[in-house]
Amino acid sequence: MNIKKIAQKQYRQIINKATQGTQFLDELPEGWITSVRKSLGMSVAQLASITGVTRASISKVEKAETQGAVTLKKMQSMAQAMGCEFVYAIVPNENIESIILKQAQDKVKSQITLESTHMALEAQALSQAQLNTQFKRRVEELINDMPYDFWENK
């Protein structure tokens, strides 16, 4: 196994762990800043005082968060001011291997569909069993040797 594949495997393990730890994290209608502030019994004025900004600034940041327009830096400073840790992550909906398998299957399905059409026109159509065997083999090959265009949908 080459270095690139070893590193990729290590990354997959890290990311797959993340998929297991976020089931409890629901989107909060008021946003995280407001929800944590309220759970602490902290007013907008108190958070403003701690962070050294105006109440209007806190209200603006809380509104920006609900609109998806708050900066990561602001989230970090608000979390820190409330004695919390800001965690930023991109978490897959399923494990990485499943995402890769689906992409490989989609690519091979497109290729085989096109090839089967040409072969049928030339009266060389494969049986369903032959198609299934070809499909499985090519999916495995694609996963093992991901070409540069693996993620392109053509």
Residue-range domain boundaries for the chain? 23-81, 96-144
Residue-level pLDDT at 122: 55
Residue-level pLDDT at 126: 67
Phi, psi of 69 (to 5 degrees): -115, 10
CA separation for the pair 110, 100 (Å, rounded)? 16
pTM above 0.95, yes or no: no
Residue-level pLDDT at 151: 94
CA separation for the pair 140, 97 (Å, rounded)? 12
Residue-level pLDDT at 30: 93
Residue-level pLDDT at 64: 97
CATH topology of domain 23-81: 434 Repressor (Amino-terminal Domain) (1.10.260)
Residue-level pLDDT at 113: 81
Phi, psi of 26 (to 5 degrees): -95, 155
CA separation for the pair 94, 62 (Å, rounded)? 30
3 state SS for 51-85: HCCCHHHHHHHHHHHHCCCCCHHHHHHHHHHCCCC
Which residues of the chain are modeled with pLDDT < 70? 1, 23-24, 117-126, 154
Residue-level pLDDT at 46: 97
